[in-house]
Amino acid sequence: MKTIYLEAGHHLSDPGAVTQTPDGQLTEAPLTTALRNSVAVKLNELAALQSKAVLVVTDSDAMNLSQTIAHAGRQTKAGDIVCSIHFNAGPLAASGTETFIAFPASEAERLLAQRLQKAMCTVLQLPNRGVKTELQSARRRLGILHHPAHNVLVEVCFITNATDLGTYLQKQALVAEAIAKSLLMSV
């Protein structure tokens, strides 16, 4: 049985990126946890329909980043999948979706990242910022990408771009389904 570990990139202890909306301030944490939960539900539904033996495990909103990384390491093994879900932040004009993999990454991780990237771009119709290695990230090393499993980190869209965010909010169920399908294709 393969395990798919879903990690909401931000929680209460680390709310992530912040943006202003007409309704007030929005942080990344509620978006990542809601999408993680939706992807988990969709994964379980699709796995049952396809008769795939998949165990879906999620991080806990009470965990901090180091606890999440350790938990993912305990829950997964070679051939499993770890998917970290994030929303990007940047200048107001910054737009699009991107997916990060470790450096170096395996061919299976590259293929998974390309599949996720294509699926998100197809659903959201936002600019394709591509698959990038962690060396191209602001942090240059992303601990969640270093497990024996196939590891990916998705940046769904820019929450600091009103168009990106609005598009995501209208299509969030479709995004969850696209991510779930992409992950299942790699099991």
| Domain encompassing residue 22 | 2-185
- Residues 26-44: tens digit of each pLDDT: 899 999 999 999 999 999 9
Q: What are phi and psi of 50, to 5 degrees?
A: -95, 5
Q: How far is CA 163 from the centre of its chain?
A: 20
Mean pLDDT of the chain: 94
Place of tokens 């602001």: 138
Average the pLDDT over 12-23 and give the result. 83
**Does residue 12 register a pLDDT over 80?**
no
Percent of the chain with pLDDT over 70: 100
What are 169's two structure tokens?
Answer: 């909010």
- The band of 187, judged by pLDDT with boundaries at 50, 70 and 90, is confident
pLDDT confidence of residue 22: 81
Contact 5/58 with Cβ under 8 angstroms?
yes
Q: In this structure, what CATH number is given to the domain that contains residue 171?
A: 3.40.630.40
pLDDT for 121: 97
As a 3-state breakdown, the chain gives helix, strand, coil percent values, each rounded to 5, of 45, 25, 30
81-139 pLDDT, tens digit each: 999 999 999 999 999 999 999 999 999 999 999 999 999 999 999 999 999 999 999 88
The total number of structural domains that make up the chain: 1
